[in-house]
Structure 1
Amino acid sequence: MYQKKISNVTLWYLLILHIRVSGYTGTPRLRKVTLEDILVLTNHTGQLQDQTSSRTNTLFDDADDIQRQLDNEARDRLKFGRPKTIWVFHFPTHFPDRNSIDEDAPEDQIRYPRDLILRKKPRKEETNDEETAIDLMTPPLPPCLDWEYSSQGRWDKSFPECGGKSQSPVDLPIAGLIKARGARSLLFQNYDVQAQELTLMNDGKRVMLFGEWKSAQRPLIYGGAAHSRRYLFHSLTLHLPAEHTVGGLQYPAETQAFYVSAEYRNLEHALDASPSDPQAFLAVANLYKYSNHSHKGLEELLKLSKSVRYRNVSIKTKSLSYFNPPFKEYACYQGSLSTPPCTESVLWLVRGRTLSVMREAVEEILLKTQSSPQQMSFRTVQPLNDRKVYLFK
């Protein structure tokens, strides 16, 4: 009898719990609970069973559902909030070959490379290699005649670019140079080929050497700081004393070999294209220090400069290496022409090791320069500003 009462109490408790879980709020109609009702509400182990699944319902079901919902929301945020991947394709720039250009095609359908835009001439003139060599090597008339070294402080009045922030020459620092690693060697081609003609010119301001070679034998530089670009020799200028300084020290002499990028026909065309080409020119600076002997090339230039003034004189032909020997170590920086119009499109290479010259060879000329300001043949050093100087070995 006692066990039967306990069983009835348990059944009533389970029935009330079922009503609360199902959310029924009306007035229940009491009826006798049968054994089938108990089997529906419970399993054989006496635990509550999920009405929608055969799985046993536990206290962690609600927590699992909430966690599953949070996981789905987080997955959705990652799916739609993740940044997209952008593919960038670098296609090589195509420069048409001169021989592949159809001159009979309409003008608006022809795309010329930069050098053809600068000079559009009949093809029959371009095939004359001999004339091309003379056009490049023969100096044109100086584009700027109304300037003097003695008035260089006012150059920017007539030539605005002379007041720029990347001017040359500069004072090269002794320390703090950036070492270039893994660079190609600087290559000097046709430096031992003897010129067909050499001309020395003294216009009263500077002494310049020009030469003429066959088209396939013109001296050129490429590699190193110039990368794969080819620069053709144009002229060599003598400066007494030197323009570039090292750690504030000025050397007694300097020669500057000037080159024009091979994609231009001559100096004038390169100057026209220089606003959009920061390395249209290349210049090599050779510094000389006093010693007990003189470099043969500089010694000959000094002797000839005494007798040549306001005229051009043909001298005995030699190779370019006689005046400007090749080298391996050099400092490099981005600069400008050291004379008006001071175009800031020159890649400067300063030889890492000085050459030698006897004091007697330059002392007489230097004394004349110091006594007469009009005889100055160098520009004072310009601020380096934020330019970097690189060291190549």
Structure 2
Amino acid sequence: MKKAMLCAVAFGLMTTVYADADWDYEQTQQWGSLSQKYAACNGLNQSPINIDRSIKAELEPLTFSYNTLIQSIQNNGHTVQVDFAQGGVLDLDGEQFELKQFHFHTPSENQIKGKSYPLEIHFVHANAQGELAVVAMMYEQGKENLLLKQMWKRLPKQKGEKVVLSKPQPVQSMLPENKEYYRFSGSLTTPPCSEGVRWLVLKEIQTASQQQIQQFADLMGHPNNRPIQPLNGRVVVEN
């Protein structure tokens, strides 16, 4: 019960943390000392990580049922967050994790074999107990991404601005055909850095044009990625 309550609190903070004004990306090394509520940022199981070594395992296939539409996009100064109606579900570990929101980082937060990507998306989920699962997907520079193109047309330019889409876009279409993944235990990548998050990093790399990547970077005005954190003995598994 105590664990469930802590996870629920962590998720509540996660849905609002980007609105906090008491942290920024220029002081990532000091997050843990900014406030007692951010003490977990000094923990031993933090994200993001460099996925350098992994162990093959019998991982269950990821089953997504994203039967929902993108409704709004908001600029909170730290990222662009996309929200939608209920209906998106990830089946994981015999449980259902509801899709809550997704957002972007540039450059990528996680790395794969030491490689950083220019853009990373995080699909954030929570189960009935408030426990979190984040599905990450990387973008490299290449062909224009038609799915991002639709959202990029309506990117809110000002911090605090929220845009409601006149033509909602299906979320399911953003997922790749190949859903093989890496898995590890980690944390939120922003304060309060709560641990116990199930991280699933998709192996298939998507493409976005140089212009699309630059447009998001210019909108943020600064890199919005937390530096790589030590593994501290954690094991990364893959299928």
Q: Aligning the two structures, in what range does the TM-score lie when normalised by the shorter sequence?
A: 0.7 to 0.9
SS in 2 for 1:286: strand
**What residue identity is the alignment partner of 2:81?**
M
SS in 1 for 2:155: helix
* Corresponding residue to 1:160 among 26, 39, 48: 39
Which residue number in structure 2 is paired with residue 350 of structure 1?
201
Which residue number in structure 2 is paired with residue 150 of structure 1?
26
Counterpart Cα distance in 2 of 1:187 and 1:204: 32
Kept after mapping to 1: 8 A contact 2:82/2:101: yes
Kept after mapping to 2: 8 A contact 1:220/1:233: yes
What is the TM-score when the length of structure 1 is the normalising length?
A: 0.53
| 1:321 maps to 2:187 | no
| 1:295 maps to 2:168 | no
Counterpart Cα distance in 1 of 2:78 and 2:155: 11
Kept after mapping to 1: 8 A contact 2:156/2:163: no
**What residue identity is the alignment partner of 1:219?**
G
| 1:221 maps to 2:72 | no
Larger RCO, structure (CA 8 Å, separation 6 or more): 2
Counterpart Cα distance in 2 of 1:115 and 1:244: 26
Relative distance call for 1:257 and 1:326 in structure 2 (3 A) is farther
> Following superposition of structure 1 onto structure 2, how do residues 120-199 of structure 1 map, counting pairs within 5 Å?
141-142=16-17, 144-157=20-33, 158=35, 159-173=38-52, 176-181=53-58, 183-189=59-65, 191=66, 193-195=67-69, 198-199=71-72
| 1:386 maps to 2:233 | yes
Deviation at 1:294, TM superposition (A): 2.4
Counterpart Cα distance in 2 of 1:296 and 1:387: 37
Relative distance call for 1:115 and 1:151 in structure 2 (3 A) is closer
Relative distance call for 1:140 and 1:389 in structure 2 (3 A) is closer
> Following superposition of structure 1 onto structure 2, how do residues 352-367 of structure 1 map, counting pairs within 5 Å?
352-366=203-217
After superposition, the C-alpha distances for 1:149-173 in whole angstroms (9 at most, x for unaligned) are 1111110102110011111111111
Relative distance call for 1:301 and 1:383 in structure 2 (3 A) is farther
Q: Hey, which of these two has a bigger chunk of helix by percent?
A: 1
Kept after mapping to 2: 8 A contact 1:188/1:326: no
SS in 2 for 1:304: coil
* Corresponding residue to 1:249 among 106, 111, 115: 115
Counterpart Cα distance in 2 of 1:144 and 1:330: 32
| 1:331 maps to 2:185 | no
SS in 1 for 2:84: strand
Counterpart Cα distance in 2 of 1:391 and 1:342: 24
Kept after mapping to 1: 8 A contact 2:134/2:199: yes
Which residue number in structure 2 is paired with residue 202 of structure 1?
75
Which residue number in structure 1 is paired with residue 157 of structure 2?
307
SS in 2 for 1:294: coil
Give 5+ residue unaligned stretches, structure 2. Answer: none
Q: Could you say what the CA RMSD is over the residues aligned between the two structures, in angstroms?
A: 2.8
Between structure 1 and structure 2, the one with the greater Rg is 1
**What residue identity is the alignment partner of 1:203?**
N
Kept after mapping to 2: 8 A contact 1:244/1:381: yes
**What residue identity is the alignment partner of 2:228?**
V
Instruction: Work out the percentage of aligned pairs sharing the same amino acid.
Output: 25
Deviation at 1:241, TM superposition (A): 1.2
Relative distance call for 1:210 and 1:154 in structure 2 (3 A) is same
Q: Hey, which of these two has a bigger chunk of strand by percent?
A: 2
Relative distance call for 1:198 and 1:364 in structure 2 (3 A) is closer
SS in 2 for 1:317: strand
Counterpart Cα distance in 2 of 1:306 and 1:250: 26
